[in-house]
Amino acid sequence: MAKKATPKQTAKKETAPAPAKPAASKKQATVDNDSPEAKLRILYQIQQTDSQIDKLRAVRGELPLEVRDLEDEIQGLKTRISNFQGEVKDVEANIAKRKIDINMASTAVKKYTDQQKNVKNNREYDSLSKEIEYQNLEIELAEKRVKEYTVQLKERKGMLDDAKKLLADRTEDLELKKKELDEIVSETSKEEKALEKKSENLQKFIDDRMLIAYKKVRQNARNGLAVVTVERDACGGCFNKIPPQRQLDIALSKKIIVCEYCGRILVDKSFSY
Ligand SMILES: [Zn+2]
């Protein structure tokens, strides 16, 4: 039996936020927790945590859409089935009506044939013969219609069966999707709560003004990124170039510097290590 490799990274301790990651220790051995750099690092950690939450929510966001699509399709199939059922009923009614016509005409033929036995002259006999001939034509026509309707009926019933089968399949798909959704929701909501708690704890170390600014930028940014690193001399959020002097200021981490194009807070690339 192979031992299961359990990734235990989810159960990370979240007591004191470690603003001073090893990478930061090149300048000072001990990092002042109130220094601008420490604040920026915490803010960056908040961003990382919030981005993870965003990702979880995005994953969860797709499934409800798939469920809704399936529900729409099922609704459409139900309408189609009820239409087919209506058509089947109509065709069956037509067949029944023609069969009544055939019965009536047959009765008439029988009646006229009996009458022919008691006619007084040829003219009466011929007139009855014409009547019989006419009724027989009616019977023939009705039988032809019955045949046509029977073909139609078979066709409609086939379409109805197909739609019913498809409905059964889709209903099964829907059940599976719903189950999958429930599982993902319960799985991710636990993880999400832990991350939310982590973000909240980190936020305690940041002053309100900074936090409000962070939240405002995050809300307006399409990808939810308010704190980004400098990537290839450009803002990691909007990709506009950052002048060299500004990049140096960012690297020093002495104050909050925002991108002049998108307003995102810029931090040094080393923060992401
Ligand atoms: Zn930018």
In a domain? residue 42: no
Q: What is residue 261's three-state secondary structure?
A: coil
**From ligand 1's centre to the CA of 264, what distance in Å?**
6
In a domain? residue 239: no
In a domain? residue 131: yes
**From ligand 1's centre to the CA of 269, what distance in Å?**
14
In a domain? residue 75: yes
In a domain? residue 163: yes
In a domain? residue 146: yes
Side chain identity at 162, as an amino acid letter? D
**From ligand 1's centre to the CA of 223, what distance in Å?**
12
**From ligand 1's centre to the CA of 47, what distance in Å?**
15
According to the model, what pLDDT value does residue 24 have? 41
In a domain? residue 39: no
According to the model, what pLDDT value does residue 31 have? 53
Residues, CB within 5 angstroms of ligand 1 (ion): 235, 237-238, 259, 261-262, 264
CB within 8 Å of 17: residues ≥ 6 apart = 42, 45, 201, 202, 205
**From ligand 1's centre to the CA of 230, what distance in Å?**
9
According to the model, what pLDDT value does residue 34 have? 79
In a domain? residue 202: no
Q: Is 26 exposed, middle or buried (0-12, 13-18, 19+ CB in 10 A)?
A: exposed
CB within 8 Å of 116: residues ≥ 6 apart = 125, 128, 129, 132
Strand 234-235 and strand 265-267: the pairing is: unpaired
Q: Look up the domain containing 172 and give its range.
A: 61-193
pLDDT, averaged in runs of 10, over the chain (273 residues): 43 45 43 82 96 90 87 97 97 97 97 94 95 97 97 97 97 93 89 96 93 93 93 95 96 93 94 89
Which value, to the nearest 10 degrees, does the dihedral of the CA atoms of residues 44, 50, 56, 60 take?
Answer: -150
**From ligand 1's centre to the CA of 262, what distance in Å?**
4
According to the model, what pLDDT value does residue 184 have? 87
**From ligand 1's centre to the CA of 233, what distance in Å?**
11
What ranges in the chain are assigned the alpha helix state H?
Answer: 36-116, 122-203, 208-220, 244-252
| Total tally of structural domains belonging to the chain | 1
According to the model, what pLDDT value does residue 224 have? 94
**From ligand 1's centre to the CA of 241, what distance in Å?**
8
**From ligand 1's centre to the CA of 272, what distance in Å?**
17
According to the model, what pLDDT value does residue 58 have? 87
**From ligand 1's centre to the CA of 238, what distance in Å?**
4
**From ligand 1's centre to the CA of 227, what distance in Å?**
10
**Tell me, what CATH number does 122's domain have?**
1.10.287.1490
Query: What is the rounded CA–CA span in Å between residue 134 and residue 112?
Result: 11
pTM: 0.58
Q: Distance between alpha carbon 3 and the CA centroid of its chain, in Å?
A: 37
**From ligand 1's centre to the CA of 263, what distance in Å?**
6
